[in-house]
Amino acid sequence: MNSQSDLERITEELERYRGRDPELSRLIDLYQEVFRVQESTRLKARSAPGIVFDEARRRLSSGHFILKGRGLNIDAGLFREAALALGEVFSRVSGDRFPSQEILALPQLRPEAISGFASDILSNRVDYLNQFAMGTDFNEETVFLFLYSLVVPFFQAEAENYRGIIKESGWKRGFCPFCGSLPRYARFHQEDGRRILFCPLCRSQWRFPRLSCPFCGNSDHKKLGHFYLSEDKAHRADVCNKCQRYIKTTDERSLGREVIPQVEDAVSLPLDYLAAREGYQRDA
Ligand SMILES: [Zn+2]
Ligand SMILES: [Zn+2]
């Protein structure tokens, strides 16, 4: 990346979309603040890789994601600092006090339990959040969004250590080479249209065949399709009529620039509504 910081690029991209669609303004306000907290946390969370490169290479070459069977070490002090900062964002945007202190008091989030909690988020074993949310002014989805957004920079900081190895490995599976999550967004590269998938948790990116469903592996073109929201041909949802799932995609060749998948994902919410109306599910 050049002299412009990642956060400056993110902000610039968000502002582009705000100008284009004023209805997204409130959502963009939220994400701008979330990304700011995430970026500052990511920079502080950077550390030496927890898994030696040879071991990481071995895992990838045998088809396993790097973090499989391993926890992520999370610094409890930094986690708390980030949780309070993110809680302020959620309070400000919603106008109600967000219960970040109460969340931090949950047994699953005690300092010694945080690494286990990160694994729970990864495997979606967070049923207790439902019960917790019932005692607050926020719904379960918002509480989950808060916690998910909170762990992202820790996963991202560690995943960045393996970027070179992941690229070398030629990984082409339907799940993230670092953390094993299902992809959440895709882009068609501006140079040649190659398809690159994006992980929402650790923000790794990897190449994947254009004419294949990342979720079920279906490559029968008669069962694959895509649709657009309107005349905007740069943003689309690629759907699979075998597993009924979809992945949103930006065609960078239409935009003439490289995009930031977490920004594209945030600003393309109307495509999610349309996909849901058409009976498609986002992932698992
Ligand atoms: Zn990942
Ligand atoms: Zn499928």
Instruction: Flag the least confident range among 15-29, 75-89, 207-221.
Output: 15-29
Whether pLDDT at 121 is above 90: no
Which ligand is the nearest neighbour of the Cα of 241?
2
pLDDT of residue 1: 46
Instruction: Domain of residue 222: give its range.
Output: 171-277
Q: How far is the CA of 183 from the centre of ligand 1 (A)?
A: 8
Of 125, 153, 181, which marks where a domain is finished? 153
Q: Band of the pLDDT at 115, cuts 50, 70, 90?
A: confident
Contact 183, 265 (CB under 8 A): no
Output the 3-class SS for 3-54: CCCHHHHHHHHHHHHHHHCHHHHHHHHHHHHHHHHHHHHHHHHCCCCCCCHH
Query: Do both 141 and 208 map to the same domain?
Result: no
Report how far Cα 220 is from the mean position of its chain's Cα atoms. 28
Q: Band of the pLDDT at 66, cuts 50, 70, 90?
A: very high
Whether pLDDT at 3 is above 80: no
Q: How far is the CA of 28 from the centre of ligand 2 (A)?
A: 30
Q: Average pLDDT in the 75-94 region?
A: 96
Q: How far is the CA of 76 from the centre of ligand 1 (A)?
A: 21
Q: What is the pLDDT of residues 209-255, one digit of tens each?
A: 999 999 999 999 999 999 998 888 999 999 999 999 999 999 999 99
Query: Do both 21 and 122 map to the same domain?
Result: yes
Of 120, 153, 186, which marks where a domain is finished? 153
Query: Do both 87 and 129 map to the same domain?
Result: yes
Instruction: Flag the least confident range among 122-136, 205-219, 245-259, 261-275.
Output: 122-136
Query: Do both 106 and 181 map to the same domain?
Result: no
pTM of the model: 0.95
Number of domains in the chain: 2
CATH number of the domain that residue 262 is part of: 3.90.1670.10
pLDDT of residue 79: 96
The verdict on residue 1 lying in a domain is no
The verdict on residue 26 lying in a domain is yes
Query: Do both 149 and 234 map to the same domain?
Result: no
Query: Do both 94 and 201 map to the same domain?
Result: no
Query: Do both 116 and 249 map to the same domain?
Result: no
Which ligand is the nearest neighbour of the Cα of 225?
2
Q: How far is the CA of 281 from the centre of ligand 1 (A)?
A: 20
Which helix or strand (DSSP H or E) is residue 195 part of? strand 195-198
Q: How far is the CA of 144 from the centre of ligand 2 (A)?
A: 26
Q: How far is the CA of 136 from the centre of ligand 1 (A)?
A: 30
Quote the mean pLDDT of the chain. Answer: 94
The verdict on residue 158 lying in a domain is no
pLDDT of residue 132: 92
Whether pLDDT at 90 is above 90: yes
Of 153, 183, 215, which marks where a domain is finished? 153
Q: Average pLDDT in the 48-65 region?
A: 96
Q: How far is the CA of 80 from the centre of ligand 1 (A)?
A: 22
Residue 207 bridge partners (DSSP): 196
Q: What percent of the chain has pLDDT over 70?
A: 99
The verdict on residue 162 lying in a domain is no
Q: What is the pLDDT of residues 159-173, one digit of tens each?
A: 999 999 999 999 999
Q: Average pLDDT in the 33-57 region?
A: 96
- CA geometry: angle 119, 125, 127, nearest 5 deg: 140
Which ligand is the nearest neighbour of the Cα of 202?
1
Query: What distance in Å separates the CA atoms of residue 252 and residue 218, rounded to the nearest whole number?
Result: 24
Which ligand is the nearest neighbour of the Cα of 174?
2
Query: Do both 197 and 238 map to the same domain?
Result: yes
pLDDT of residue 231: 85
Query: Do both 94 and 123 map to the same domain?
Result: yes
Contact 201, 150 (CB under 8 A): no
The verdict on residue 30 lying in a domain is yes
Neighbours of ion ligand 2 (CB under 5 A): 213, 215-216, 218, 240, 242-243
Query: Do both 61 and 187 map to the same domain?
Result: no
The verdict on residue 163 lying in a domain is no
pLDDT of residue 284: 53
For the CA atoms of 201, 202, 203, 204, what is the dihedral angle to 10 degrees?
A: -130
Which ligand is the nearest neighbour of the Cα of 158?
1
Q: How far is the CA of 22 from the centre of ligand 1 (A)?
A: 31
Q: What is the pLDDT of residues 155-204, one digit of tens each?
A: 999 999 999 999 999 999 999 999 999 999 999 999 999 999 999 999 99
Q: How far is the CA of 193 from the centre of ligand 2 (A)?
A: 21
Contact 162, 56 (CB under 8 A): yes
Q: How far is the CA of 195 from the centre of ligand 2 (A)?
A: 16
Query: Do both 187 and 213 map to the same domain?
Result: yes
Query: Do both 136 and 176 map to the same domain?
Result: no
Q: How far is the CA of 175 from the centre of ligand 1 (A)?
A: 8
Q: How far is the CA of 222 from the centre of ligand 2 (A)?
A: 12
Which ligand is the nearest neighbour of the Cα of 245?
2
The verdict on residue 166 lying in a domain is no
The verdict on residue 159 lying in a domain is no
Q: How far is the CA of 120 from the centre of ligand 2 (A)?
A: 25
